[in-house]
């Protein structure tokens, strides 16, 4: 049986047809793509897309349909087995590896991120459908998310906040400007730290190039972590929570904003790990629960994962519009890689294969109970 025939049988019932008429149907430009799909799984699919061996008008919808029907579970590729074994044996998010994702992903170019993100350069899910009204633009959605975080922790003037994974300082700047807080933001990206310090130079904001495990002898009124926990790894979750508990005041709140997995795994999608986020992985509810047990009381758990679909599509639109100004520096293969990254992730959230959680935790419980804020 040919690779193509095998794949067609696996795709039965998904409404995905090779060289079909729909925007989500993969158009095969090189027949060798079928064998790569079959033998290499997501690595073969992503890399052959980068190589121009296949295309699709709507890769986001293609991925959404495949994940929604769970057809991906029928394929067990060699890269998946290898990466799963590697992640099981080794601590891929150890202290010695902590800065690798900064160098390979976040340091790729501030010009790219300036073009793709909102005006504050917030590289996490926006909040598009709040009870107070729907955001109409990416800028509005990101401001709504930053304000939501501040309201959930009860931020007030004079509070000192730790932002683990502070990026280019978007939360730190917002919290300082709008709420009068002082913020320490840590990142593992040199480029983020450099630009963040420039953007926050007139504010009570301290941006550090620092691993979370190197936080010592400081205390904070509140701790937030927005889109960083995906780099911590299950073998380090308990250590991470111990660090947060140590630096957080007894009456403070910790807000964890993270992408989440529906299943407990210890490895990431192999193509994402290879090309986009080295050493990353998504936590599950069970893994987070085990990590916080005995250290925190869970006050609130908020899922707005479908908003990440909208955010990623907005990022791709910005990236695609800006590409004529970026292509000379980055090249066509990077364009196809970045396009596949953004749109395939959008498809994953659309299929509800991945979630976005904001979790509020307290060291010893909010007196009288925590009032959920949306």
Q: Do both 215 and 72 map to the same domain?
A: no
pLDDT of 278 above 90: yes
Residue 54 is assigned to a structural domain of this protein: yes
310-319: burial string, b at 16+ Cβ within 10 Å, e else: bbbbbbbebb
Query: Which of the two residues, 183 and 132, has the higher pLDDT score?
Result: 183
367 is a domain residue: no
Are 113 and 72 within one domain? no
Q: What is the SS3 string spanning 221-262?
A: EEEEEECCHHHCCHHHHHHHHHHHHHHEEEEEEEEEEEEEEC
**180 and 143 in one domain?**
yes
Report yes or no on 368 lying in a domain: no
Query: Mean pLDDT across the chain, nearest whole number?
Result: 94
Q: What is the pLDDT of residue 91?
A: 79
Domain that holds residue 13: 3-76
d(CA 211, CA 187) in angstroms, rounded, equals: 7
Stretch 324-347: mean pLDDT, rounded?
98
pLDDT in tens, 74-98: 555 555 666 566 666 677 788 878 8
Residue 238 lies in a domain: yes
Query: pLDDT digit string (tens) for 25-84?
Result: 999 999 999 999 999 999 999 999 999 999 999 999 999 999 998 644 555 555 566 656
Residues 158 and 43 in one domain: no
Say if residues 83 and 273 touch (Cβ distance below 8 Å).
yes
Please indicate, yes or no, whether residues 47 and 123 belong to a single structural domain of this protein. no
Q: Are residues 70 and 121 in the same domain?
A: no
- Token pair belonging to 317: 């639109």
Q: Is residue 44 assigned to a domain?
A: yes
* pLDDT in the model for residue 237: 98
> Is 345 a known active-site residue?
yes
Residues 221, 180: Cα–Cα separation, whole Å = 13
Residue 248 and residue 159 share a domain = yes
Last residue of a domain, which of 29, 44, 76? 76
Contact 254, 291 (CB under 8 A): no
- The answer to whether residues 294 and 220 belong to one domain is yes
For residue 89, the model assigns a pLDDT of 67
281 and 341 in a single domain? The answer is yes
**Which residues neighbour 69 within 8 Å (Cβ) at sequence distance 6 or greater?**
13, 14
Mean pLDDT of 244-272: 96
Q: Where residue 1 falls among pLDDT bands split at 50, 70, 90?
A: confident
Separation CA 54–CA 20 (nearest Å): 13
In a shared domain, residues 111 and 254: yes
Question: Is the model's pLDDT at 226 over the cut of 70?
Answer: yes
Confidence of residue 286 (pLDDT cuts 50, 70, 90): very high
| Burial class (CB within 10 angstroms; exposed 0-12, middle 13-18, buried 19+) of 266 | middle
Residues 193, 187: Cα–Cα separation, whole Å: 7
Shared domain check, 268 and 172? yes
Q: What is the dihedral of CA 39, 42, 45, 51, to 10 degrees?
A: -100
Residue 128 lies in a domain: yes
C-alpha radius of gyration, the chain, whole number: 21
CATH number at residue 196: 3.40.50.150
State how many domains the chain has.
2
Give the residue carrying structure tokens 């290879």. 274
Chain segment 204-214, per-residue pLDDT in tens: 999 999 999 99
Q: Is 28 helix (H, G, I), strand (E, B) or coil?
A: strand
Question: DSSP labels for 149-180?
Answer: HHHHTT--TT-EEEEET-TTSHHHHHHHHHH-
Of 125, 150, 200, 345, catalytic: 345
Please give the pLDDT value at position 13.
Answer: 86
Once rounded to an integer, what is the mean pLDDT over residues 123-151? 94
The share of the chain scoring above pLDDT 90, in percent, equals 88
For residue 130, the model assigns a pLDDT of: 78
305 bridge partner residues: none
Q: Which pLDDT score, from 0 to 100, does residue 69 have? A: 81
| CB 184, CB 212: distance < 8 Å | no
- Residue 345 belongs to a domain: yes
Q: Is residue 241 part of a domain?
A: yes
- The CA distance from 65 to 337, in Å, is 20
Number of H helices, E strands in the chain: 14, 11
Same domain, 112 and 58: no
Q: What is the pLDDT of residue 223?
A: 99
């Amino acid at each position: 049986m040919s690779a193509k025939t095998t794949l067609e049988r696996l795709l039965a019932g998904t409404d995905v047809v090779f060289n079909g008429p729909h925007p989500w149907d993969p158009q095969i430009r090189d027949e060798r793509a079928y064998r790569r799909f079959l033998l290499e799984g997501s690595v073969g699919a992503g890399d052959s897309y980068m190589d121009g061996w296949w295309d699709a008008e709507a890769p986001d919808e293609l991925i959404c349909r495949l994940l929604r029907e769970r057809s991906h579970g029928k394929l067990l590729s060699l890269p998946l087995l290898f990466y799963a074994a590697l992640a099981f044996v080794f601590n891929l998010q150890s202290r010695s590896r902590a800065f690798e994702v900064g160098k390979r992903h976040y340091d790729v170019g501030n010009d790219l991120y300036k073009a793709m993100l909102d005006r504050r350069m917030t590289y996490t899910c926006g909040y598009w459908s709040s009870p107070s009204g729907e955001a109409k633009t990416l800028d509005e959605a990101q401001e709504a998310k930053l304000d939501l975080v501040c309201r959930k922790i009860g931020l007030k003037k004079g509070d000192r906040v730790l932002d683990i994974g502070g990026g280019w300082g978007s939360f730190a700047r917002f919290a300082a400007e709008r709420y009068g807080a002082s913020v320490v933001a840590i990142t593992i990206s040199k480029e983020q730290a450099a630009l963040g310090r420039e953007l926050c130079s007139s504010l009570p904001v301290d941006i550090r190039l620092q691993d979370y495990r190197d936080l010592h002898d400081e205390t904070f009124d509140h701790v937030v972590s927005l889109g960083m926990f995906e780099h911590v790894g299950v073998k380090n979750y308990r250590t991470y929570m111990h660090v947060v508990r140590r630096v957080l005041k007894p009456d403070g709140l910790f807000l964890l904003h993270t992408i989440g997995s529906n299943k407990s795994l210890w490895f990431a999608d192999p193509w994402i790990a290879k090309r986009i986020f080295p050493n990353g992985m998504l936590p599950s509810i069970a893994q987070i629960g085990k990590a916080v047990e005995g250290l925190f009381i869970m006050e609130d758990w908020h899922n707005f994962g479908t908003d990440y679909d909208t955010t990623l599509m907005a990022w791709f639109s910005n990236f695609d519009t800006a590409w004529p100004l970026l292509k000379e520096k980055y090249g066509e293969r990077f364009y196809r890689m970045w396009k596949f990254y953004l749109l395939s992730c959008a498809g994953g959230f659309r299929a509800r294969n991945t979630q976005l959680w904001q979790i509020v935790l307290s060291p010893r419980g909010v007196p009288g109970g925590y009032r959920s804020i949306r």
